[in-house]
Amino acid sequence: MSQQFPAKQGLLFNEVLLFEKTSPGRMGYSLPENDVTEKVDLASELLREDVPLLPELSELDVVRHYTRLSQWNYSIDTGFYPLGSCTMKYNPKVNEEAARMSGFLKVHPAQDSSTLQGALQLMCELQKDLAVMSGMDAVTLQPAAGAHGEFTGLLMVRAYHTHKGNPRKKIIIPDTAHGTNPASAALCNYKVVQIKSGKEGVLTPEAVAEVMDEEVAALMLTNPNTLGLFEKNIAEIAKIVHDKGGLVYCDGANQNALLGNARAGDLGVDVMHFNLHKTFTTPHGGGGPGCGPVAVKKILEPYLPVPILRREGDQYFLDEHCPLSVGKVRAFFGNFGMMVRAYTYIREMGPEGLKGVSNMAVLNANYMKARLKNHYHLAYEQPCMHECVFSDKRQQEFGIKTMDIAKRLMDYGYHPPTVYFPLVVPGALMIEPTETESLETLDLFCDALIKIAEEAKSNPDILHEAPHVTSHQKLDEVRAVKNPILKWEKELKN
């Protein structure tokens, strides 16, 4: 294997569990003898009968264990992450510095708002920035993540229709939506009506008109969709929905492809959520914390969750007296640290910088598409936005599947891209390079994929048995699913 790729020998350290490293009598602490003579009587049911089975280790044992485990982590600080903004967009370190400033770090949500003026001002300005960028009228920062934002947005949709006398029953969702869309609709007690995208991979007005009626509360549309394609018919589709009294929800998870180029509010959208961790760099890998603000048009503003952040003169305050509000959706005001990071990023970049982010993300994705389309089946030919979708269709004749390609990429030192999603492309391989990756990085990753495509023809077994140079080789995934072992037990080890 060429040495130009990041991995030469995979991960070097093999680390056993702390329970397996234990040595009776070994300690990692040194405390003075207990000189407290006073005793407290506890009820017998609160007392243990046996000493807990904990590992006995030195401090060095523990430090080395966790240091080695940290070296197993694949992170954006160590390598290219083709999952893109979904979970691990580059996060400028200055954002972290800002979030750790004592004035932000030590505020407590139970403080009186008169002592939180700086934090409230930041939140208020962030709301305005998001409203301007999306072409909407009002924003709430409360939701904890994108899916929570969807839920909050649909709660407002339901409140709006209920206030008009009929909550309606259905939500239209295309087959290129994120999986959280139907889940959010179901949580809000709506029936999901799924419709198919057209031949070009985008939703057609005709498909929407066919199912649109007065029982539809809203249409949920991801734009760009999960195929990485811009929903070019959105304005015409919005008119069809509005003419029947419905609302248009935009899943804004892919806004990093549109910043400075198109605004959802100008395209007929009534409500949308942002993923601050995707579009504005807030770290979210590993599941949190995130922040999923929701922006709405004027007609939905009365239903925003409380508290509502307002300003009178030079004073910021939190208003809980909003009779039509859907109520609270999060403890206090949301994940404030994430807001500081996003605010810092927006201020760093400015309008032109944010537009440049989108343009570079789109350029990078199309560059990779052009380099790889002669080696992998391209699901849709038209220019993509921030991500491109291939499949294993060409490799299947050699007995190779998408998962084999993904595992082999690990031998070259890369985290695999998204696989088997979106579901409308069988054997999907979705690559999202983000705007911050250099041409050299993109080329090396493409070189690795091209080499793997050649290996699929000449030596398919090397893919079947991959990965070869990681600390653990190919896992028995069926056994892992059917017989999961999620905790250590002495009996199992013995």
User: How does pLDDT run across 35-69, given as a tens digit for each residue?
Assistant: 998 888 899 999 998 888 899 999 999 999 998 88
List all residues 6 or more positions away from 253 whose beta carbon is below 8 Å from its beta carbon: 86, 146, 178, 222, 273, 275, 278
H/E stretch holding 80 reads none
How far, in whole angstroms, is CA 190 from its chain's centroid? 24
Mean pLDDT of 197-220: 97
**Percent of the chain at pLDDT above 70?**
95
Distance CA(449)–CA(408), nearest Å, equals 9
Distance CA(219)–CA(231), nearest Å, equals 13
pLDDT of residue 11: 45
**Percent of the chain at pLDDT above 90?**
76
pLDDT of residue 307: 94
User: How does pLDDT run across 419-444, given as a tens digit for each residue?
Assistant: 999 999 999 999 999 888 999 999 99
> DSSP letter string over 264-307?
GGGGT-SEEEE-HHHHS----TTT------EEE-GGGGGGPPSS
Angle of helix 146-163 versus helix 180-187 axis, rounded to 10:
40
> Please, which pLDDT band fits residue 7 given cuts at 50, 70 and 90?
low
78: left (phi over 0), alpha (psi -120 to 50) or beta: alpha
Distance CA(434)–CA(92), nearest Å, equals 14
User: How does pLDDT run across 403-420, given as a tens digit for each residue?
Assistant: 999 999 999 999 999 999
pLDDT of residue 76: 81
Provide the 10 A C-beta neighbour count for residue 266: 11
Q: What residues pair up with 228 in beta bridges, in sequence order? A: none
Distance CA(172)–CA(241), nearest Å, equals 10
Mean pLDDT of 114-138: 97
How far, in whole angstroms, is CA 44 from its chain's centroid? 47
- Among 74-83, 294-303, 346-355, the range scoring the smallest mean pLDDT is 74-83
How far, in whole angstroms, is CA 382 from its chain's centroid? 26
Q: Which pTM was predicted?
A: 0.89
CA atoms within 13 A on the CB side of 365: 31
User: How does pLDDT run across 223-236, given as a tens digit for each residue?
Assistant: 999 999 999 999 99
User: How does pLDDT run across 249-304, given as a tens digit for each residue?
Assistant: 999 999 989 999 999 999 999 999 999 988 998 776 555 678 999 999 999 999 99
User: How does pLDDT run across 442-475, given as a tens digit for each residue?
Assistant: 999 999 999 999 999 999 999 999 999 887 788 8
pLDDT of residue 86: 63
Distance CA(220)–CA(190), nearest Å, equals 12
CB 174 within 8 A of CB 203: yes
Q: What are the backbone dihedrals phi and psi of residue 223, each rounded to the nearest 5 degrees, phi first? A: -140, 120
CB 219 within 8 A of CB 210: no
User: How does pLDDT run across 276-288, given as a tens digit for each residue?
Assistant: 988 998 776 555 6
> DSSP letter string over 216-278?
EEEEEEESS-TTS---TTHHHHHHHHHHTT-EEEEEETTGGGTTTT--GGGGT-SEEEE-HHH
Sign of CA dihedral 351, 355, 361, 364: negative
> Please, which pLDDT band fits residue 85 given cuts at 50, 70 and 90?
low
Count of residues making up the chain: 494
User: How does pLDDT run across 140-175, given as a tens digit for each residue?
Assistant: 999 998 999 999 999 999 999 999 999 999 999 999
Top-confidence range, 15-19, 370-374, 482-486: 370-374
> Please, which pLDDT band fits residue 308 given cuts at 50, 70 and 90?
very high
What mean pLDDT, rounded, does the chain reach?
Answer: 92
Which among 397, 424, 421, 439 has a CA at the least distance from the CA of 80?
439
